[in-house]
Amino acid sequence: EETEPVEDVRPQSPVKPMTATEVKVNVSIPEAAERAAATGADGVGLLRTEHMILSLNRTPAKFIEDEGVDAYVDELVQGIRGVADEFYPRPVRVRTLDAPTDEFRQLEGGEDEPSEHNPMLGYRGIRRSLDRPDVFAHELEAFRRLYDLGYDNVEIMLPLVNDAEDVYRSKRLMEEAGIDPEKRTWGVMIETPASALGVEEMADAGIDFASFGTNDLTQYTLAVDRNNEHVADRFDELHPAVLRLIGDVIERCREHGVDTSICGQAGSKPEMVRFLVNEGISSISANIDAVRDVQHEVKRVEQKLLLDSVR
Ligand code: PEP
Ligand code: MG
């Protein structure tokens, strides 16, 4: 017996609310790009490049030794390109390599990595890149090639900077790699109290944005190891000291025409979203699964601000 097809009259998923604060998405593995783009996010607030490297199962030095520099640059170009394609023309903020030595040590070639008593306070992020400008140059070469290919939606984000000195040195290396910092969008992560307190000097150095890496900013402000279960109950991104640093940076950046955003885990938490929108942050980047909720929370807070302003 034939049956009539039943018409699907269920309501469509709610449309993305329009908000003044941009809502972006974090992408840790390039394979998640399609799903991330489907959230309707305004761009990628953090694309981690570590996975592209760690999935090679070799340290960059070992990979380059085995396969050559061109193959290394190719890996980076292809990994970033997949995400940049998926989001084009929405911006994709790509973070330069930030793997602590203890993660590199587990890879082939890792025996050559320094053994550190405290890797989280050690040789990682921009410190490593500035210490080995010859290796960092390969990463910057990947960015230059992406720009040559027309991916003008790619942005460069520098991790674990402490001060303007870090920024000026990075900028010089970008220029040496054939990247025009005036033409491209680039900026820093705010992950240390020093970077928060010195954000004005970094603004003078020419950054376009400052993005809160609250996982590290909380760890370093409170001196609470983010991976230590014994102090996990003290790891609080909403601690008044952390919020004060964040609020001050947003204000300083607004005065200097620098965009602000968040790309740490806390950007997916409603309490943090409320605080940030009230402070006037430019964009919030959330985990894929949290994007929709954050969009709605941002909308609610913006509407309340609007109502309060006319009362
Ligand atoms: C952060 O520190 O908040 C951040 C986004 O970087 P990661 O978690 O990769 O250290
Ligand atoms: Mg970090």
Q: Is 125 in the pocket of ligand 1 (CB under 6 A)?
A: no
The confidence band for 12, taking pLDDT boundaries of 50, 70 and 90, is: very low
Whole-structure pTM over 0.90, yes or no?
A: yes
% of the chain at pLDDT higher than 90: 86
Average pLDDT score over residue span 201-226:
98
Is 70 exceeded by the pLDDT of residue 9?
no
What's the token pair of residue 137? 């140059």
**What distance in Å separates the CA atoms of residue 96 and residue 55, rounded to the nearest whole number?**
16
What pLDDT, on a 0 to 100 scale, did the predictor assign at position 56? 87
Q: Is the dihedral of CA 282, 210, 170, 92 positive or negative?
A: negative
Q: What is the mean predicted confidence (pLDDT) over 73-91?
A: 97
Q: Which of 161, 189, 195 to mutate to test ligand 1, by most ligand atoms within 8 A of the CB atom? A: 189
Q: What is the mean pLDDT of residues 268-276?
A: 98
Kindly state if the Cβ of 214 falls inside 6 Å of ligand 1.
yes
Predicted pLDDT at 14? 54
ipTM of this complex prediction, to 2 decimal places: 0.99
Residues 6+ apart with CB under 8 A from 183: none
DSSP letter for each residue of 197-218: HTHHHHHHTT-SEEEE-HHHHH
63 is written with which tokens? 């990979």
> Would the pLDDT of 7 be above 80?
no
CA distances from 65 to 6, 59, 72, 184 (A): 61, 10, 10, 31
Find the 48 Cα to ligand 2 centroid distance in Å: 10
Q: Is 49 in the pocket of ligand 1 (CB under 6 A)?
A: no
| Count of all residues that appear for the chain in the document | 311
Residues, beta carbon < 5 Å, ion ligand 2: 213, 216
**Ligand nearest to the backbone CA of 50:** 1
Residue 187 is predicted with a pLDDT of 98
The ligand 1 atom at the shortest distance from the C-alpha of residue 266 is 3
